């Protein structure tokens, strides 16, 4: 699933493909925003971790991955 994270005072958003469920991502975001965690920690499909300070979160957008079409179409 695609996750976009907006960070305050940063010109670009963080975009990652995560294998985590929607519920896991929502739980991590809720914990970070409620003060239970100082960092929002998410893992991407390649096993890398993304850490964002909770006090710098502007927004988190959770969506489905876009399907990329491969091949040629007939005109």
pLDDT digits (tens, 9 = 90+) for 25-70: 999 999 999 989 899 999 998 999 999 999 999 999 998 755 666 6
75 lies in a domain? no
pLDDT at 73: 65
**DSSP-derived 3-state class of residue 65:** coil
pLDDT at 65: 59
pLDDT at 67: 61
Cα 7 to Cα 40: distance, rounded to the nearest angstrom: 11
Position with higher pLDDT, 25 vs 71: 25
What's 32's domain CATH number?
Answer: 2.30.30
Q: Which residue has the tokens 């502007």?
A: 58
71 lies in a domain? no
Domain total in the chain:
1
40 lies in a domain? yes
Please give the residue range of the domain that contains residue 39. 2-63
pLDDT at 74: 64
pLDDT at 8 over 90: yes
68 lies in a domain? no
């Amino acid at each position: 699933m695609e996750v976009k994270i907006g960070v305050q005072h940063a010109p670009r958003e963080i975009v990652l493909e995560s294998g985590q469920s929607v519920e896991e991502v929502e739980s991590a975001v809720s914990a970070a925003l409620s003060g239970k965690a100082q960092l929002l920690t998410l893992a991407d499909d390649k096993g890398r971790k993304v850490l964002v300070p909770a006090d710098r979160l502007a927004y988190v957008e959770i969506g489905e991955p876009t399907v990329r079409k491969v091949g040629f179409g007939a005109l």
